[in-house]
Amino acid sequence: MNRHTIITSIAIIVIIIVFGHSGFSILGANQLEYRWDNPGDFSFFTMSNHGEMEFCNTIPFWVSFQKFEITTFYDAENIGVFSIDPMTINPLSSVVKKGVFSSSELSATQHIFMTLDFEFDGGDIRLDPNKLIVVIRTDTPIIGIIPYSTTTQISGFDFDKTMNAEDLTCD
């Protein structure tokens, strides 16, 4: 075997591994399960004071992402973003990662969150809970340079139920 064949073979293997990892990360981002670190203790107000989330990789390959963002909208206005920095999750396992919440008007956002938490726990309705929308975005660039995002939009009530989930596949 000459050295050009060896070099070409190695280059092809490296390219396949790099694109394979990117492809599995995209697939994994779509299959990713997550919840608040303390199941059953999630509240939007707690999220506004930072906190930790648990992520479960449900596929038998490593999953990496650059950014995981939870953007909250009330009455079509962005009221805050909870973001988690890059991470890699081992196959069929879970990991807990700290996130940071940011908002241009934190006290107003926290007031909205406290009111909605009260409503979701069965209290009187003071704000329309149907106006709370949560957009979850996972950035998983292909080979680290080509931008690719997975975006999911759900209601605040459904997001609250997801974050309070008792069981994940990795449990």
Please report the DSSP string for 90-145 in residue order: -TT-EEEEEEEEE-TTHHHHHHHHHHHHHHHTT----S-GGGEEEEEEEE--BTTT
Is 170 part of any domain? no
Q: How many domains does the chain have?
A: 1
Domain carrying residue 29: 3-163
Strand partners, 52: 98
pLDDT one-digit tens code per residue, 92-150: 999 999 999 999 999 999 999 999 999 888 888 888 888 999 999 998 887 777 888 88
Q: What is the pLDDT of residues 29-58, one digit of tens each?
A: 788 889 999 888 899 999 999 999 999 998
Residue 108, domain CATH: 2.60.40.10
Tokens at 152, concatenated: 């999911």
